[in-house]
Amino acid sequence: MLKRLTILFLVFALLLVACGGNNETTNEQPAATSAPEEPEDTGDVEEPEEPAEPAEPAEELAVGIVLPTREEPRWIQDETRFREALEAEGYDVEILFSQGDSAVELANVEQLITRGVQVLILTPHDGAAAAAAAEAANSAGVKVIAYDRLILNTDAVDYYVTFDSIAVGAAQAQYLVDNAEGTDNPLYLYAGAATDNNAFLFFEGAWNVLQPKIADGTFRIVNSSEAVALQDNAELTRDEMGQIIGQITTEWDFDTAKSLAEANLTAAPAEDKGDVFILAPNDGTARAIADAFGADADVSSYIVTGQDAEIASVQYIIDGLQSMTVLKDVRTLVADAIAAAVAYLTGSTPPETNTYNNGTIDVPAKPSEVISVDQSNVQEVIIDSGYWDASEFTGLP
Ligand code: BGC
């Protein structure tokens, strides 16, 4: 028992000390990018009578984390949850951001390799471009964990920590279906960035649910001639999805989403407005698109989807400006990523319930479940569960 605890302690220390924090010794590491304040000393982990394994110098990083951008609240959520999970034990974490630039991402990964990481946790900005970073890590003997987004077209990915992204798209589409009555309802489609494999998975999940309802006349696609041309196909190839996504992409960018929605509304005649249904791929773009639709005098009501349970979108839901979001509990993803890293550091393999083909190999994964959230369950799922604090919001039911 004591032995188990000691091993656990050592593993965690290896994982965490490495991430820049070094308990009680010096804290003057060659600052890399974004190392925040120093470690606090907390209870549990410090006290056992360790055979004083000297704290590793910062160059001996065991795990490195690279996230795609600070410009979206979604990834700040992940950063915060990683810090909460790791710093709870009294250590600093260093997390690098790529700011939507594959060259910065590669430089971040190279920096971590130079500093001696053994495990890399990477959310690619561009899934295909990130193959180079994964291969650099792999050649240096580093285990590569793709985090939330798959790294494409390479065998240099060891594991994929993810949510069930097809289920995300299906939940969004199901919400539209559940709120539609009669026939000929105007449907506006929007998607994520084509460089992100998830954009395809979300769209695929949505199409599976929407296509039969387009075929039976419940919905009429307004803003994509490519989707109209393919609307009789129950299943789409990746190329076909690519054609549609190319026409309705938001690039995961709020301004692009808003401009595209405005252009669609300008082009649409009044009979394509009224009570409308909008597939928006995530919360940031949902708010931008909702703002555009809300400002159009010919739109009398809209149902709009989202995902990520961002604070601003939860407020939009409370205020009736966004209809739903999909909660992907980032705490689960973070815990899975840390568990996978620890598995590799101890010479074992993380659990696998599924695989995702990345164009070259089937990458082992364990996708997590997602939950639909709207006004009817926001209190229970978001507040009562402790995901966000009630003080973040006004006008809760
Ligand atoms: C993530 C979403 C996120 C989107 C934009 C996707 O890969 O799964 O949660 O909203 O990227 O950053």
Region for residue 338 given its phi and psi (left: phi exceeds 0; alpha: psi -120 to 50; beta: otherwise): alpha
Q: How confident is the model at residue 84 (pLDDT cuts 50, 70, 90)?
A: confident
Ligand 1 mean position to 319 CA, how many Å? 23
Ligand 1 mean position to 26 CA, how many Å? 38
pLDDT of 94-140, one tens digit each?
799 999 999 999 999 999 999 988 999 999 999 999 999 999 999 99
Ligand 1 mean position to 48 CA, how many Å? 41
174 lines ligand 1 (CB under 6 A): no
pLDDT of 349-393, one tens digit each?
999 889 999 999 999 998 999 999 999 999 999 999 999 999 999
The pLDDT score that the predictor gives to residue 61 is 61
Using DSSP bridges, classify how beta strands 143-147 and 119-122 pair: parallel, antiparallel or unpaired: parallel
198 lines ligand 1 (CB under 6 A): yes
Does residue 216 surpass a pLDDT of 80?
yes
In this structure, the residue with its CA closest to atom 5 of ligand 1 is: 252
Point out the least confidently predicted range of 22-31, 73-82, 175-184.
22-31
366, burial (CB in 10 Å: exposed 0-12, middle 13-18, buried 19+): middle
Ligand 1 mean position to 3 CA, how many Å? 41
* 142 and 119 Cβ atoms separated by less than 8 Å: yes
The pLDDT score that the predictor gives to residue 83 is 87
Ligand 1 mean position to 184 CA, how many Å? 31
Alpha-carbon distances, residue 355 vs 328, 349, 352 (angstroms) = 19, 14, 8
Between helix 73-87 and helix 283-294 the angle, nearest 10°, is 150
Does residue 57 surpass a pLDDT of 70?
no
Using DSSP bridges, classify how beta strands 274-279 and 325-327 pair: parallel, antiparallel or unpaired: unpaired
Does residue 49 surpass a pLDDT of 50?
no
36 token code pair: 């925040």
Say what the pTM is. 0.87
Dihedral angle over CA of 166, 167, 168, 174, nearest 10: 110
Ligand 1 mean position to 202 CA, how many Å? 10
* 304 and 291 Cβ atoms separated by less than 8 Å: no
The pLDDT score that the predictor gives to residue 11 is 44
Does residue 22 surpass a pLDDT of 60?
no
Helix or strand run (H / E) with residue 246: helix 238-248
83 lines ligand 1 (CB under 6 A): no
Phi, psi angle pair for 119, to nearest 5°: -135, 135
pLDDT of 242-299, one tens digit each?
999 999 999 999 999 999 999 999 999 999 999 999 999 999 999 999 999 999 999 9
Does residue 26 surpass a pLDDT of 80?
no
**Average pLDDT, integer, range 298-315:** 98
For the chain, the average pLDDT equals: 87
Residue 328 Cα: closest atom of ligand 1? 9
Residue 75 Cα: closest atom of ligand 1? 12
Does residue 69 surpass a pLDDT of 90?
yes
Does residue 89 surpass a pLDDT of 90?
no
Residue 202 Cα: closest atom of ligand 1? 8
Q: Which domains does the chain have, with CATH numbers?
A: 63-162+330-366 (3.40.50.2300), 165-327+373-392 (3.40.50.2300)
Q: How confident is the model at residue 86 (pLDDT cuts 50, 70, 90)?
A: confident
102 lines ligand 1 (CB under 6 A): no
